[in-house]
Amino acid sequence: MDEKIPNAFKEKYLKEKNIEILKLTYSKTSVEAIQSNKSKYSFSYIINKDGKDLICESNDVEIITIENETIVGDFKEKCQDK
């Protein structure tokens, strides 16, 4: 399985939120028909924030692939206690 997409999401999350993702699963939710380099993914992950484990979701995150580069679009997350 290609690790570029989950690794790119983890890197962007760490950069934006300054929190490391402990565990992550993801699935492709759609592909743009016109531009095949764009796809949407949903991510489910576990983080530790303020000493508490949280289960979070980010849905319909746009991923653009250009040659060997993976670009993660903006995302919104919903979290709850583990």
- Per-residue DSSP letter, 18: S
Candidate CATH numbers 1.20.1440, 1.25.40, 3.30.43, 3.10.450; the one for domain 4-81: 3.10.450
Supply the pLDDT for residue 3.
87
pLDDT in tens, 58-79: 999 999 988 889 999 999 999 9
pTM: 0.89
20 vs 17, 27, 52, CA distance in Å?
8, 20, 13
The answer to whether 29 and 60 are in contact (CB under 8 A) is: yes
d(CA 32, CA 11): 24
Average pLDDT, the chain: 92
**Where do the structural domains in the chain lie, given as residue ranges?**
4-81
pLDDT in tens, 31-48: 666 657 889 999 999 999
